[in-house]
A and B are shown apart, each in its own frame.
Chain A
């Protein structure tokens, strides 16, 4: 199946530092989605990437889809305490989610 692996599992950063999480698949993905889950909350959709090499930005968040459509990344510039939570990638058919990266931001 189109399982996706996600690293790192945990990341602690000082407020203002950058953060990146990576998602990798052994097979080519039709598309990839990213979700954010605040502590105690439910996952919330952030974005979907479809095209090879696609880059999308949402304020301080930058999402990339690899040229081979086998990997993706989420980069947050100058983290804030509001960025705290777990970030998940999911393959396009939503059958498989990555294990998530839990981000802690130290004020």
Chain B
């Protein structure tokens, strides 16, 4: 398996609190992605990064921000968590990016917002 670590793996929080999920890779891959997975919706892209400090929005970016200050770390922040953000969040990495590279996924972070 690719060297991808997500933390925390499980988190329960309350509505209105900030939450940060971390994705750490040891593969030195350029591209990193955050997806959320919900029943009936499959995987939906939140944000992605194509290099240090280079990020862009995905399909469901509202309510989320990201930062990538180092190649190995990609942070996903919920500034003020809402119940609709209860989900399983997956980080993924790719060496060559769009249209060519396969995605390697982390183990996932299960977030519950009460």
Interface positions of A (Cβ within 8 A of B): 1, 6, 9, 30-31, 33, 35, 41-45, 48, 88, 90, 92-100
Q: Which residues of A have CB within 8 Å of B105?
A: 42-44
Q: Whole-angstrom distance between the alpha carbons of A30 and B99 in the complex?
A: 7
Q: Is the CB of B103 within 8 A of A88?
A: no
A94–B90 CB distance below 8 A: no
Contacts A41-B107, A93-B98 supplied; 7 other A-B pairs, CB < 8 Å: A6-B42, A31-B99, A45-B104, A48-B102, A94-B98, A95-B98, A99-B41
Between A and B, 24 residue pairs with Cβ closer than 8 Å are A6-B42, A9-B40, A30-B99, A31-B99, A33-B102, A35-B103, A41-B107, A42-B90, A42-B106, A42-B107, A43-B43, A43-B92, A45-B102, A48-B102, A88-B42, A92-B98, A92-B99, A93-B98, A94-B92, A95-B59, A96-B45, A97-B35, A97-B44, A99-B42
A-B contact count (CB 8 A): 53
B3 sits at the interface (CB 8 A): no
Inter-chain contact B59/A94, CB cutoff 8 Å: no
Tell me the minimal C-beta distance from B91 to chain A in angstroms.
9
**Closest residue of chain A to B41, judged by CB?**
A99
Nearest residue (CB) in A for B107 is: A42
Contact A43 B58 (CB under 8 A): no
**Contact in complex: B59, A43 (CB < 8 Å):** no
For window 44-62 of chain B, which residues contact chain A by CB distance below 8 Å?
44-45, 58-59
Contacts of A95 in B (CB 8 A): 45, 58-59, 98
Partner of A42 from B40, B59, B108 at Cβ < 8 Å? B108
Q: Which residue of A lies closest to B101 (CB)?
A: A94
By the criterion CB–CB under 8 Å, are B103 and A99 in contact? no
Q: Which of B35, B40, B99, B102 contacts A93 (CB 8 A)?
A: B99
**Looking at the complex, which one of B40, B103, B106 makes contact with A94 (CB distance below 8 Å)?**
B103
